[in-house]
Amino acid sequence: MKISCRKKIAVDSKKDAVIIPVYKNIRSLRTITGKKIDDELQNIIQSDYFNFDEKESKSFYIDVNKKLKKIYIIHVPKEKGEARFYMELGAKTASIFKKDKIYSFSLISFEDIYNEKKDLYITKAFLEGFMFNDYTFDKYKSKKSPEHNFEAEVITAMPKLKKYIDDNADNWNAVFDNINIMKDLVNTPANYLKPYDFAEFVKNNLPKNIDLTIWDEKEILNNNMNLLHAVGKGSVNKPYFLKLTYNGNKESSNNIALIGKGITFDSGGYSLKPAASMAHMKDDMAGAALMYALTKLIAELNLKININTYIPLAENLIGSNSLFVGDVITSASSKTVEILNTDAEGRLIMADALYLATKTDPEIIIDAATLTGACVVALGPYCAGIFSNRKFLSKQISDISYEVAEDVWELPLYADYEQGITSTVADFTNMSTFAREGGAIHAALFLKQFIDNYPWLHIDMAGPAYMEKNHPIFGKEATGFGLRLLFHFLNTHYTEGVNERY
């Protein structure tokens, strides 16, 4: 979305429409709207036409220089609220504009409405919500949606806000360009996005300042990634492994390890899923899409940080060479795993990648995966589970989660539960012997065995990565969940120098 900022009055806008936030008994806005708009605005909000219901939106026309101009008024609380309120308002407004075929608009800044000169987050949050809704995936439809690019012109009387938007709007667009790439990957049907296809897409869509290593099946075996190979060997579409390296801070040896689960389709293998549970298993590579898009974004913005990203890719299918229940596999770390359930495959491919990540002595290891249905049962579809072996990491990511409206909740790593993944014939089992109890916790405890006690943050995003129920900000299907959360986290706590959030 093209974003600009102007010090002008709304009556001079050349856009398709003007958005004016209002609250009950709002003062005159003449200095920023112009007298003609303000007079009509006051008549509207004092009439029965506008009720001041939560997030209410109404429109009207005025005659400006013999041309009709459409004005949208949207209700906001009298006192400024949290960022997510304005994100929801932006998403709702984008839906209205798409229906009304409005493609460019001027927006009276929320900061001007509130006379807020310090916390410049409100207009940005509204635009973020708008950009989340400004997404369509119709690649495989015979009838495409008409292409359009929204243009947003923020109108303000505040020089500080104008500078803030001028300095950062391009970065906001870079964030959402990568969110949309992530959404496209997750929404792509599995017959068009096999492990090889994912690897080729990454190869052909990387900034020049990222080094890429691709291992095929032979190289996976040569590097003892036997868990990854075991999961993917039953498919005719063999597994791949990607490593992306970005050295944005050549003066430091510090580095961050990112790992994303890349199961491009999950049938459950011989522990076959029910048909209903298999319907959206094209989304089981959302963690891989997230870590690829996050690394790409960091490199495009040239952040002063070093990143190593590990993406294991496989299809989990039934075949003549598929993994069997009861098999024992030796991992890359030399620890052995007894397979109790072939549908607990994500933790297997992640285990080999986590072990490999320890070899660069990282400051922190972060993994993201659509790992367990148990996490969705525990937290619902809108919230991801987080696990960490360092309390301060859980606190940091939770605080940022609240700010960016991407919800997470910490779940425990009870040491006593490790007995549930202890095998009688191998070092560990890949499925808890506690049956269905604490499934997300046992999966996290399994991953913990492969991190060598490095600072570690695990995100089980099985719920919010792909929504079957409509979310007020992210909508349905692929959401792009996690990119803003992790970008802000890394930019705040691990990037050298002072950086704007984005």
To the query of whether residue 273 is one of the catalytic residues in this protein, the response is yes
Q: How far is CA 33 from CA 58, 138, 150, 448, in A?
A: 17, 38, 22, 57
Candidates 455, 450, 294; CA nearest to 365 is: 455
CB 344 within 8 Å of CB 430: yes
Structure tokens at 137: 């995936």
What angle, rounded to 10 degrees, do the helices at 286-300 and 159-187 form? 140
Measured distance CA(409)–CA(111) in Å, rounded: 31
Which residues are paired to 259 by β-bridges? 310, 367
Measured distance CA(228)–CA(345) in Å, rounded: 9
Candidates 396, 371, 398, 326; CA nearest to 464 is: 371
Candidates 372, 385, 387, 330; CA nearest to 355 is: 330
Q: What is the 3-state secondary structure (H, E, C) of 107-158?
A: EECHHHHHCCCCCCCHHHHHHHHHHHHCCCCCCCCCCCCCCCCCEEEEECCC
Measured distance CA(284)–CA(298) in Å, rounded: 23
Candidates 327, 326, 350, 381; CA nearest to 443 is: 350
Which of 84, 124, 162, 347 is an active site residue? Answer: 347
To the query of whether residue 84 is one of the catalytic residues in this protein, the response is no
How long is the chain? 502
Which residues are paired to 65 by β-bridges? none
CB 279 within 8 Å of CB 266: no
Measured distance CA(314)–CA(287) in Å, rounded: 13
Residue owning tokens 């909740």 = 409
Which residues make Cβ contacts (< 8 Å) with residue 241, sequence separation at least 6?
214, 215, 219, 220, 223, 225, 228, 310, 311, 312, 313, 353
Torsion from C-alpha of 261, 262, 267, 269, nearest 10 degrees: -70
Which of 273, 304, 335, 501 is an active site residue? Answer: 273
Measured distance CA(491)–CA(498) in Å, rounded: 9
Other beta carbons less than 10 A from residue 220's beta carbon: 25
Q: How far is CA 381 from CA 136, 208, 270, 405, 471, in A?
A: 21, 37, 27, 14, 9
Report the catalytic residues. 273, 347
